[in-house]
Structure 1
Amino acid sequence: MKKATWLSALVLLFLNVSCSKNNGSAPAQTTTTATYKSPVVASTFAKGADISWITQMEASNYKFYDKTGKQQDLFALMKSIGMNSIRLRAWVNPTGGWCNTADLVAKAVRAKNAGMKILIDFHYSDTWADPGDQNKPAAWASLAFPDLVTALHDYTVHVMDTLQTNGITPDWVQIGNETSNGMLWDDGKASTNMANFAALVLSGYNAVKSVSSTTKVIVHLANGYDNTTYQWLFDGLKANGAKWDIIGMSLYPTTANYGTLDAQCLTNINAMVARYSTPVMIVEVGMEADQPQTTRDFLTDIITKVNGVANGQGLGVFYWEPEAYNWLSYGLGAFDTTGKPTAALDAFAN
Structure 2
Amino acid sequence: MKKLVFLLILFGFIYSCDSKSDTVETAPEPTFYKGMDLSFQSELEDYNIPYKDADGNPIAILPFVAENGTNLVRLKLWHTPKDGENSLADVKAYAKHIKSQNMSFLLNFHYSDYWADPGKQNPPEAWKNMDTQEIRTAIYNYTKNVVQQLKSQSTLPEMIQIGNETDSGFLWDYGKVWNEFDNNWANYAALVSEAIKAIKEVDTNKEVKIMLHHSSVENAIFFFEKLEPFNIDYDIIGLSYYPQFQIKDLSLVQQKLNQLALNFNRDILMVEVAYPFTFDYEDKSNNYIGDSSQILSEFPATPEGQKAYFEWLVNAIKKIPNNRGIGFCYWAPDWVAFNGNETTSTSGSAWENQCMFDFDHKALPVFDIYGNN
Normalised by the shorter chain, which TM-score bucket?
0.7 to 0.9
Paired residue type of 1:278:
R
Say how many residue pairs are matched: 304
> Residues 25-69 of structure 1: CA distance to partner in whole angstroms, max 9, x if unpaired?
xxxxxxxxxxxxxxxxx6510001001101211223323221222
Q: 1:218 aligns with which of 188, 211, 217?
A: 211
Q: 1:205 aligns with which of 181, 185, 196?
A: 196
Say whether the 8 Å CA contact 2:261–2:321 is kept in structure 1. no
User: Secondary structure at the residue paired with 1:86?
Assistant: strand
Shift of the alpha carbon at 1:86?
0.6
Structure 2, gaps ≥5 residues long: 1-28, 279-301, 338-344
* 1:266 corresponds to 2:287: no
Say whether the 8 Å CA contact 1:181–1:190 is kept in structure 2. yes
> Residues 113-153 of structure 1: CA distance to partner in whole angstroms, max 9, x if unpaired?
01101111111001111111111111011111111111111
| Partner residue in 2 for 1:99 | 86
* 1:52 corresponds to 2:73: no
| Partner residue in 2 for 1:236 | 226
Shift of the alpha carbon at 1:257?
8.9
Say whether the 8 Å CA contact 2:35–2:73 is kept in structure 1. yes
Q: 1:157 aligns with which of 132, 144, 148?
A: 144
> Residues 277-333 of structure 1: CA distance to partner in whole angstroms, max 9, x if unpaired?
111110010111423221111111111111232222101111001011114232422
Q: Higher relative contact order at CA 8 Å, sep ≥6: structure 1 or structure 2?
A: 1
Paired residue type of 2:187:
N
- Distance, in Å, in 1 between the alignment partners of 2:188 and 2:253 is 24
> Residues 163-206 of structure 1: CA distance to partner in whole angstroms, max 9, x if unpaired?
11111121110000011111111111113111111111111111
| Partner residue in 2 for 1:337 | 359
- Distance, in Å, in 2 between the alignment partners of 1:333 and 1:207 is 35
TM-score by length of 2: 0.78
Paired residue type of 1:203:
E
Higher gyration radius (CA): 2
Paired residue type of 2:350:
S
Change (3 A) 1:261 1:77: farther
Q: 1:280 aligns with which of 265, 268, 271?
A: 268
User: Secondary structure at the residue paired with 1:63?
Assistant: coil
* 1:196 corresponds to 2:187: yes
User: Secondary structure at the residue paired with 1:349?
Assistant: helix
Say whether the 8 Å CA contact 2:216–2:246 is kept in structure 1. no
RMSD (Å) for aligned C-alpha atoms = 1.8
Paired residue type of 1:263:
S
Q: Which moved more, 1:65-74 or 1:315-324?
A: 65-74
* 1:58-77 matched pairs, under 5 angstroms: 58-77=45-64
Change (3 A) 1:60 1:233: same
Where in structure 1 do 4 or more consecutive aligned residues deviate above 4 Å? none
**Identity between Structure 1 and Structure 2 (%):** 31
User: Secondary structure at the residue paired with 1:89?
Assistant: strand
Structure 1, gaps ≥5 residues long: 1-41
- Distance, in Å, in 2 between the alignment partners of 1:208 and 1:312 is 26
- Distance, in Å, in 2 between the alignment partners of 1:302 and 1:61 is 32
User: Secondary structure at the residue paired with 1:174?
Assistant: strand
Q: Which moved more, 1:234-243 or 1:85-94?
A: 234-243
- Distance, in Å, in 1 between the alignment partners of 2:323 and 2:249 is 21
Shift of the alpha carbon at 1:157?
0.9
User: Secondary structure at the residue paired with 2:269?
Assistant: strand
| Partner residue in 2 for 1:166 | 153
> Residues 80-119 of structure 1: CA distance to partner in whole angstroms, max 9, x if unpaired?
2211111111110102321111100111110110110111
- Distance, in Å, in 2 between the alignment partners of 1:264 and 1:107 is 38
Shift of the alpha carbon at 1:340?
1.8
User: Secondary structure at the residue paired with 1:120?
Assistant: strand
- Distance, in Å, in 1 between the alignment partners of 2:113 and 2:75 is 15
| Partner residue in 1 for 2:332 | 321
